[in-house]
Amino acid sequence: MADTSLQWRYLRPSGSKVKCIEFHPMQPWLGIADEAGNVSVWDLHTQQLVYETKLATPDEVTFEDAMLQRAAEREPDYFGPHLSHAMHPPKVKVSSGAAVKDMQFCDDETAFWQMASQHSQLHHAYSGSCHPHLGKVGGLRGHRWLVLAIDAKVVIQDMISGQAREAPRPLWGNKDPTALAFLYANAARLLGFDGGSNANEVILGPVMAVGSTTGATTLLNFITLQVYAKLVGGHKGAVTALLPLGSVAPGGPDRLLSAGADGTIAVWEPSTAGRGGAGVHSPVATWKAHDGAITGLTFYRHLGDTPEQPPIKLATAGEDKKVLLWDTDKWKLISSIRALPKGNVDALMFSCHGSAAFGEEPCLLLASQERPALWGLHPGTGAVTQLLAMEHLIPPGHKKVPKVYTAACHPTLPHLLAVAANSGVAILTFDAYDTPPVALLPLRRSTAEEAGEFEGGLLDDPAAGGDGGLDELEAVLDPDGAAARAAAQAAAEAAEGHPQEAGVTLLGGLVDSTSKGQAYLTVVGKALWAVFYRTSSRDGWAGPQGPRQLTAELASREVIARLPHAGKPHLACSASGRCISVVWPHVRHYIIWMAGEGGTWTQLTDGVATHLVWATKSSTFAVLYAPDAQMPDLGPVSKKKAKAREEEQARAAAVAEAQLRAHQATSVQVYEVDESSRQVVQVSALVDTGSERPIRLHAGPLLGIAFTSTITNGSRTGNALQFYSWGGSQQPVGPQMVEPKWLAWDPQVTLCALAYEDAVTLAVVRPEFRAFASLPIRQAVSGVWRTHQLFLLTPDSLVVAFAAAGGGSGRIVGLGGTNQPFLEIVPLASLQGAVAESENDAGALPGEGMRPGGPAAVLGPRDGNLWLADALGQPFLVPLTAPGLRARCKAALNKLEEAREQAEMGLVREHHDEVARFLAALQPEGAAEAQKLPGLSLSAELSLAIQRGQYTQALRCLEALAAGHTERAAIAAMPALPQQESEPAAVDPVTALDSSIEALYGPPGLPPPGMPGKIADSLAAEQPNFLSMRKAGYDSDDSDASDVSAESEGGTIDWDVPLKLPRSVLLAAKQAQAAQEAATNSTFGTAAASIAAAADQALQLAAAANSANETEVARGALRIVAAGAAGLATEQVIRVLLEMARAGMAREADSLAALLSAPGARKAPQVVALAAAIAQDPLIVQETLQSSGLVALASLYTHAWRAGNALNALNEWTRQLETSSGDPDARVTIQAPTAMS
């Protein structure tokens, strides 16, 4: 039966047959070479072309050689043999192509992956520190080489620079190359340093191995193409495959396996002394494996009957239609399997996708040219299963028969597969979210004091500190049920005389929560196991003088139960850890085991279900009851065609009806386990889901039920998910949402993480379920919450996201008093691991560690390490002990004083600022502890003072910053700012412009205060013609005309009063005075850049001080930032002006307006107008608006507020209209406002 977990993604078509493909081990890149000589590299995530090239055909090479020879012979000084008469340049046949026999990537990442995987296969690395070679490999920095073995030579091309090199056939006896491999760890002896005690020293450098049709393999310096050695005597036919193998001893030089067309396999140790003369090596082992050419060669590992680390094994495929499995210790045959009924196995690869390496699914994948399909081989049983038929490789309408030539599996992303065919390359995928079958097992605490932090690191018990939030949530959602459960628990505790302890013990109580290590469940060999691994450190591969290795030792293991079904199960634990559930969705069956006295496990119950989930706190669980469709037996099909058609239709209708009945019978049922009496009580026989059909369940403090119906939320569309309370009523909670891949709740039940394909959404739970942040992390396959810490694992990386929610709103008070969500994402590990040298010093966050390749699951932090379970169910540790990271973890646990002490002891002072920001933002009380850090900068001190309401101290910090200082010691030496008088009136910042103008001139449509009564009366009496100001004594010829400043009694003008200067003269004088005052009074004239850098903090201080009625502090901050207004952005200037309005700084705003309107100020005229309005200066308002081309706004301003030269503004507006429209009669008429009745 086909395994539907393998899915077709897409076909990348090709005009020629594709017979060679290769995955980059670290990047999601696939190299493709077709028969026409087209070579390309594609990114499978983005489906974008990374690199492409066109190879010369053999005929083209011969043609070029002949032309070069003929040109050389024509030279007068040519002395070589004349061969051009014997060289007949053939016609170039582009369609023939250059056949690519093998393809390899070579760069820093491939070298790192190969050395790390070789060590893990042989020596069981439990952490990145266990790998001996994590440094740079010489000659590869800054390059990404693509190496191709073609008919005539080896082509080496740099995908970054385009540089190309060639290794010609004479290097391997004028024969064609057939296979490629790289050895990165080699003894000095092999590299030419032969002599002395250093001959066996391992040097990291790329050595290229090239197998040829002669049966020999040549080892070359990859950079210089110098030949180091030849490996001969292993094969009588061509070399068909090369496979590197790590050393028997950790840190030793690489070995090499080769397979031949004669069916033989040879093992080589090139770094040992030559066995056949200088530079010539013989194999250390060789044997006849197949009757015919060997077509496939791969290493594999899978678990047997116990959870211990399995040894590495070898699988080979040959033209004798067999797949052979070999032991790698003595190279003994383990099993011989005739895999396919017809045809050879043309491609053999190992894929540890999902739980394949657990022995529950086939992990060896096969492909054959005889049939377009992909098969899976179970190495433990020898069973072969067709995974996917690919007849649709050829698009409809084409006459070609689909044919598969080879296949490849991504080494570190084993869910990605590629199949090369005559129509192109098919991309296939297993479920990337299919993680190993493991589940964390809570351990019982021996005493209450032991929950917390041990000497070795953080315990971070998921149950610690989480009950209060959960009780509160349950009380809100289901008060009756919460009260009943609380009463039942209290009665049980009273009967036993002590509180019930959560967790279980292993080995009769020898392993509990005080033990340094991690316990979890796993399924191996059709048995359910509980395993406990203990952390330890030991001498590394370099001995006592080298670095210590962080490792894990299997301290205990026990079989909980033998399982009745094969296939991958789903494991889960109750909150107490006393109940363990196993579900087999493919057979619709579940079983629950319960721990008894003395650590014995017995079956509690079982039933029919496809999903089972537990409540976060209680021993309540829900099952998705989904019965099989009962198909009717309609007997054999009639031989008569007409009747047969009727019977087929009847059968189809009967099947559809049976499936419908099964779907209608699908339901969600809720049960509770009474752990004291070991009884299972049904809480609800049927959760009311209305007309919706449930398909999946999600665990947590709320029961999540996914339905077949789909909904759309923003850009996402998917199955609907509804939360229900666990109580007896099971009422819906909150709105429906798009179902995530998985969800996780924090221990306090305040935050929930929902993992989608493109991002992880964080939602706050109370008082309403609402998303407040989105983490840009794609394909998060596993995640675990601890207090304020969300550990997320993707197929190629591992991160921790620190998040906090305050007051039930999902937002916290951050630096500067801003109410913003707090998020910080810290990378912990990646597939690249230590490929890139960390540029962080001892005080910064640690560089990325190493993530194991393949599927994995996050178990959680413990003992100062983050525990993962890898593709084989083995633990892998990522240290969390770096000072910067550890300080953050302590702060997340609300241990603020310890976090600050950790930062003081472990971090250099240059990094105290980042810890201070973290402390202040994560916890409301963190600012006080952050201020105690001795290495704080002035900027950090300023932010912390603002947050704590220490406005005077914050102003002193701002003074020092504006003067160009950076150290806190400069505060004491700073002189006090000169105190300046300011207007007492304050203006609301929201309506600053309107209120300022209205305060000056009154409401729109009324004469401004102080306007001569004669003019006011004239305006009121002549509303239709009120724009004509000439009769009232206003000169409207130009903007420089003198204004009437006074009027005599009786409405006549007093001509003896001196006329005012022209407007332009007044404006220039004001600008000059403002500039002189700024240069004379400001103590920060030489630190404009410092003021601009601190402008945002100064504005934060001004806003906070204004809100706290600390007006003098706000004015001091605004005077500082105003001194550097010329270097501020427009938005910052606007904020300065609005805060000045709030602080009643009209005179400072007047000077600022004059400065901003000066020639060369380059500020937006709207900003200048706003400043002038706040400063109560209509002169600058009209001048700036009109000179900047905003004549319409200038005209409306002068007429609405009776300020400035209204007639001049209207004439300028009319003139521009005439110019733009070409109509000399264009006019503008502005009517006075009409009173409303």
pLDDT of residue 622: 93
Q: What is the DSSP letter of 125?
A: -
Sign for the CA dihedral angle at 204, 206, 212, 218 comes to negative
User: Residue length, the chain?
Assistant: 1237
Q: What is d(CA 98, CA 883) in angstroms, rounded to the nearest whole number? A: 56
How many CB atoms lie under 10 A from the CB of residue 816?
20
Mean pLDDT confidence for 53-76: 64
Whether residue 369 contacts residue 346, with contact meaning beta carbons closer than 8 Å, is answered with yes
- Name 827's Cβ contacts closer than 8 Å, sequence gap at least 6: 797, 798, 799, 848
Residue 215 scores a pLDDT above 90: yes
Q: What is the rounded distance in angstroms from the CA atom of residue 868 to the CA atom of residue 862?
A: 11
Q: How far apart are CA 574 and CA 577, in angstroms?
A: 5
Residue 470 exposure: Cα atoms within 13 Å on the Cβ side = 20
Phi-psi region of 863 (alpha: psi -120 to 50; beta: other; left: phi over 0): left
CA 166 from centroid of its chain's CA atoms: 39
Q: What is the pLDDT of residue 1033?
A: 31
When pLDDT is cut at 50, 70 and 90, the band that residue 194 belongs to is low
Instruction: Say what the pLDDT of residue 706 is.
Output: 94
Asked whether residue 1158 carries a pLDDT value surpassing 70, the answer given is no
d(C-alpha 1233, C-alpha 1235), whole Å: 7
DSSP 3-state of 1115: helix
Peptide bond into 767 cis (omega under 30): yes
Strands 227-231 and 280-281 turn out to be parallel
The CA angle 1037-1041-1047, to the nearest 5 degrees, is: 110
Query: CA-to-CA distance for 27 and 797, rounded, in angstroms?
Result: 12
Least confident of 545-549, 751-755, 814-818, 951-955: 814-818
Average pLDDT, the chain: 77
Residue range 133-145: average pLDDT? 80
Average pLDDT over every residue of 687-709: 89
Nearest to 317 by CA among 328, 309, 307, 325: 325
Query: How does residue 1042 score in pLDDT terms, banded at 50, 70 and 90?
Result: very low
The pLDDT confidence band at residue 976, using thresholds 50, 70 and 90, is low
Grade residue 1233 by pLDDT with cuts at 50, 70 and 90: low
Indicate the range of 679-693, 758-772, 966-980 predicted with least confidence.
966-980
Does the pLDDT at position 491 exceed 80? no
| Confidence (pTM) | 0.80
Mean pLDDT of 1069-1075: 54
Task: Provide the pLDDT for residue 817.
Answer: 40
Confidence band for 1217, pLDDT divided at 50, 70 and 90: confident
- Who has greater pLDDT, 1059 or 787? 787
Q: How many CB atoms lie within 10 A of CB 691?
A: 6
| Type of residue found at 184 | Y
Distance CA 375, CA 345 (A): 10
Exposed e or buried b per residue across 2-40, where buried means at least 16 C-beta atoms within 10 angstroms of its C-beta: eeebbeeeebbebebbbbbbbbbbbbbbbbbbbbbbbbb
User: Residues with Cβ < 8 Å from 858, sequence gap 6 or more?
Assistant: 782, 783, 784, 791, 792, 793, 798, 866, 867, 868
Q: According to the model, what pLDDT value does residue 634 have?
A: 61
Q: Is the pLDDT assigned to residue 632 strictly greater than 90?
A: no
Q: What is the 3-state secondary structure (H, E, C) of 940-966?
A: HHHHHHHHCCCHHHHHHHHHHHHCCCC
pLDDT band at 214 (very low <50, low <70, confident <90, very high): very high
The proportion of the chain whose per-residue pLDDT surpasses 90, expressed as a percent, equals 37
Average pLDDT of span 364-372: 92
Is the pLDDT assigned to residue 211 strictly greater than 50?
yes
Q: Which residues have a Cβ under 8 Å from the Cβ of 693 and sit 6 or more positions away?
A: 663, 664, 666, 707, 708, 709
Half-sphere exposure of 39 (CA within 13 A, CB side): 27
pLDDT greater at residue 842 or residue 740: 740
| Amino acid 1163: pLDDT | 59
- The Cα-based distances of 271 to 191, 231, 873 in angstroms read 9, 11, 34
What is the distance, to the nearest Å, from the Cα of residue 194 to the centroid of all Cα atoms in its chain?
A: 48
Tell me the pLDDT tens digit for each residue of 498-515. 334 455 555 445 455 566
In this predicted structure, the answer to whether residue 1147 has a pLDDT above a threshold of 80 is no
Q: What is d(CA 420, CA 794) in angstroms, rounded to the nearest whole number?
A: 27
Radius of gyration of the CA atoms of the chain, in A: 40
Asked if the model's pLDDT at residue 1115 lies above 60, the reply is yes
- What is the secondary structure of 151-198 as a DSSP string? SSEEEEEETTT--EEEEEGGGGTT--EEEEEEEEEEETTTTT--SSGG
Beta bridge mates, 364:
350, 377
pLDDT of 87 strictly over 50: no
For 804-822, the pLDDT digits (tens) are 865 433 333 333 344 567 8
Top-confidence residue, 531 or 814? 531
pLDDT at 741: 96
Provide CB contacts within 8 A for 1114, sequence distance 6+.
1101, 1102, 1103, 1105, 1106, 1139, 1142, 1143
The average pLDDT across 658-663 equals: 68
Q: What percent of the chain has pLDDT over 70?
A: 69
Q: Could you tell me the pLDDT band of residue 28, with boundaries at 50, 70 and 90?
A: very high
Provide the pLDDT for residue 961.
Answer: 86
Residues in CB range of 398: below 8 A, 6 or more apart: 423
Evaluate if residue 299 carries a pLDDT over 90. Answer: yes
Closest to 24 in 3D by CA, of 108, 120, 118 = 108
pLDDT tens readout for residues 243-268: 999 998 888 899 999 999 999 999 99
Lowest average pLDDT, out of 741-755, 866-880, 971-985, 1146-1160, goes to 971-985
Of the candidate ranges 765-769, 951-955, 1066-1070, 1227-1231, the one whose mean pLDDT is the lowest: 1066-1070
Residue 1055 has pLDDT above 70, yes or no: no
What is the token pair recorded at 484?
A: 């009943």
As a whole number, mean pLDDT of residues 980-997 equals 42
pLDDT-based confidence at residue 129 (cuts at 50, 70, 90)? confident
* pLDDT-based confidence at residue 850 (cuts at 50, 70, 90): confident
**Residue from 349, 412, 408 nearest 28 by CA:** 412
Q: How far is CA 366 from CA 2, 264, 735, 977, in A?
A: 14, 20, 47, 80
- CA 968, CA 933: separation in Å to the nearest integer? 11
**Distance, CA of 896 to CA of 892 (rounded, Å):** 8
pLDDT digits (tens, 9 = 90+) for 921-972: 887 788 999 999 998 988 899 999 998 999 999 998 988 888 888 887 777 7
Give just the sign of the alpha carbon dihedral 1151, 1153, 1155, 1157: negative
- The token pair that represents 248 in the structure block: 């028997």
- Predicted confidence at residue 810, as pLDDT, reads 33
Distances (CA, A) of 818 to 803, 814, 943, 953: 16, 5, 11, 19
Residue 991's pLDDT is: 43
Q: Report the pLDDT averaged over residues 814-837.
A: 68
CB 127 within 8 A of CB 867: no
Beta strands (DSSP E) in 193-238 are 202-212, 217-221, 227-231
136: confidence class by pLDDT, cuts 50, 70, 90: confident
The average pLDDT across 681-688 equals 82
CB 871 within 8 A of CB 438: no
Q: Is 796 helix (H, G, I), strand (E, B) or coil?
A: coil
The neighbour count for residue 113, using CB atoms within 10 Å, is 21
531-545, 862-876, 1193-1207, 1209-1223: range with highest mean pLDDT: 862-876
- Beta strands per DSSP E along 14-106: 18-23, 29-34, 38-43, 48-54, 100-106
User: What is the per-residue pLDDT across 883-901, written as a single tens digit (0 to 9) for each?
Assistant: 999 999 999 888 999 999 9
Q: How does DSSP assign 3-31, residue by residue?
A: -TTSEEEEEEE-SS-EEEEEE-SSSSEEE
Q: Tell me the pLDDT band of 409, cut-offs 50, 70 and 90.
A: very high
